[in-house]
A and B are shown apart, each in its own frame.
Chain A
């Protein structure tokens, strides 16, 4: 049985490609399957070419694959751009009145525009004819799609719901009548746990809600913007304040102000906006104010390629901010990890009273994965925020904000408690918060701040996760963040490989990590950037050097096939 099925749709921007793709993902999840989806679109609001691909599998999947099993061409460009990804058995849906694809594929001529005309439907509904046809080919039904239509369009009137249903039904019936021999039999509708279909950004958003974040402040920047949109949509329900400030400098300073006043606060951006926030990160480090920063990377420098993916900001994130101060950087590898690490980021920010950066990239931020709904729901029900030494009251009148402690963490009194006051100070300060330039006091406070990193490495650093049988493996991939999915998919085709997957990417500890790298294996660093930034970080922090590198920086994530191809020829 072919365990994976890749559906892909393409068309002009403005054809509703994103909507139809997400609906396909949701229906696949509802039919009992796991999905991974991936979109490509230019940095334009109209025109240009949009695509959406959905991988369907009975198992959890973390990346797409190269060969397309069913390609839906809403225009000729789709076929031309993707024909190199078609195999002999691949099915191609196209409108025979528009063009005729050449090649030895399973061609399915679907009179999209003729149906549209007969039903007097708008051009935007082409995608739903194609979706109906796709569902027929998957041997699924129209029930859930019809529920989606009711949910989406009932406010616009019953007519809209009905015409959408009608055109989807036309596509569906057309396949049943004319191409029933092509219907796929490997993915029958099956019972499975209820799933949610989330992007990395949605997962960060839900994680923030679960963690009881009170303020999210941002200035829009692709590919981080949808976090703000999701959180703003739920603001009344959650009670969160979601603020769109005038610029990223205001964003971070506003979040610092609210966090200082006791509210869990987060900001989100991409590389360029993050650059503007950097002074604020240093401020949060000095004030010892908790802060969660969501950084979704895209190819840079400068404006770069706004709607594409890269892991090029790791070292920038690690080094962001003038001076030495503690900072924690987390890099989730998939949508599930995004949820868990987002919640953890809020705890760590509070426990260590310092900035915590959650690194994503366009690939993780905007790709959907299916997750077990119950698992997330249970997690959030059982979760209690760990605010460390942040307190609402203190005993006595001798409270000192920057009290020197063994673990480096001072009790933080939420401002407003009666009978007490203090200054959190951007200048170097005494234990009581007043400005100082004394050499010994400087050393005391600098050392105190830095001890937080030692405490973190002892108590909260999570070792990298090993996937595959490490002892038996000849090849060991070393990677971080969103490469996890493509590498794990590649490993399904490689018998002798394992993966060391880092999520807690900074700080790193030599003593903890050296045992992960015994002699005698072929270690390959896999990164979605030009210079192997994690490799440089690992070497700098621990002395461990990974010489062999597989790097990609064309704006696209890794294909599992690329990883396999890289490894295999060299084994012969």
Chain B
């Protein structure tokens, strides 16, 4: 994409996924668990000409930071969120994640998890995300392409990345994903909101995971609505010189 490490802002959550902070070169903020999205929004508001990528796990994005995800979708903030989805909390050695299958026995749910898993794709599409894709760690060339498309997309993009946790989640092995994922057909139209929702509605419960761009549309992004940012980025804005005239209003 023609980027070098100086031309991208990265924000990392907390988790195995986000330890990528020590391996991926870029201007990076390695922040708090669940908070990579608001941090990314702040970066984008400060310098909306820079691409901003948030790297998170399923726990941080769909659990701890779930509220931020909902509102980032509806704001269509021009950031790219990469979610490493392995159905388990690996860094804390094997507790249940919000994406785990109902009944999954983990360290925090020895009798099996009672809740049904979250559906990140239908959730984000329905809340206004303008680019939603799913990739698989076992299909690296497609995944790279999806990430590239997500970054190039103007608006909120989420890429859910299915991947095994070889240490703490034997139920989500490489073979499991090989069997349960499928490529979207050539004929699939990612611009159709209804179809996209239909495609993913049952995918999590039925464990049939589509790979590819699920939904994509064009809408004004959050910073388009800020007249303050029409000419310059916030970080380059000229100093305020209007206090004198504002003071007149308080006489």
Contact = CB atoms under 8 A, between A and B. Distances in A.
Interface in A420-457: 420-427, 433-435
A96 interface: no
Contact of A435 (B5, B21, B239): B21
Interface string A405-425: 000000000111111111111
Interface stretch (A160-168, A180-188, A208-216, A296-304): A208-216
B240 interface: yes
Given A209-B242, A421-B27, A260 B247 contact: no
A257 B32 contact: no
A420 B37 CA distance: 24
Interface stretch (A52-60, A77-85, A190-198, A515-523): A190-198
A234 B38 contact: no
Contacts of A249: 35, 38, 67-68
Chain A CB within 10 Å — which of B5, B238, B240 has the most? B240
Interface string A230-242: 0000111111110
Interface string B19-50: 10110011111111001011111111111001
A320 to B, nearest CB: 15
B29 A260 contact: yes
B242 A238 contact: yes
Contacts of B32: 253, 279-280, 283, 426
B6 A416 contact: yes
Given A212-B239, A261-B9, A261-B47, A422 B42 contact: no
Nearest to B5: A421
Interface residues of B, number: 52
B22 A196 contact: no
A485 interface: no
Contacts of B239: 212, 385
Contacts of A215: 42, 45-46, 234
Interface string A280-322: 1001000100000000000000000000000000000000000
B240 A209 contact: yes
Contacts of B105: none
A194 B251 contact: yes
B239 to A, nearest CB: 5
A416 B45 contact: no
A258 B234 contact: yes
A217 B157 CA distance: 23
Contacts of B41: 245, 250, 254, 257
Interface stretch (A372-380, A460-468, A557-565): A372-380
Contact of A239 (B37, B67, B237, B247): B237
A347 to B, nearest CB: 14
A420 B4 CA distance: 10
A254 B42 contact: yes
A189 B54 CA distance: 62
Interface stretch (B82-90, B132-140, B211-219, B222-230): B222-230
A421 B45 contact: no
Contacts of A418: 6-7
Nearest to B238: A239
A26 interface: yes
A247 B42 contact: no
Contacts of B7: 418
B249 to A, nearest CB: 9
Nearest to A235: B228
A254 B6 contact: no
Contacts of B152: none
A262 B42 contact: no
A482 to B, nearest CB: 20
Contacts of A415: 9, 27, 47
B231 to A, nearest CB: 9
B70 A253 contact: no
24 contacts: A196-B251, A209-B240, A214-B46, A235-B228, A236-B228, A238-B242, A239-B234, A239-B237, A240-B228, A246-B67, A249-B67, A250-B71, A253-B31, A254-B42, A256-B31, A261-B50, A262-B46, A265-B46, A283-B31, A381-B244, A415-B9, A417-B6, A422-B28, A435-B22
Nearest 6 CB-CB pairings of A with B: A257-B42, A261-B46, A415-B27, A253-B38, A258-B46, A421-B5
Given A256-B42, A261-B46, 4 more contacts: A202-B250, A206-B243, A257-B46, A423-B22
Interface of A: 26, 29-30, 194-198, 202, 206, 209-210, 212, 214-215, 217, 234-241, 243, 245-247, 249-251, 253-263, 265, 279-280, 283, 287, 373, 376-377, 380-381, 385, 414-427, 433-435
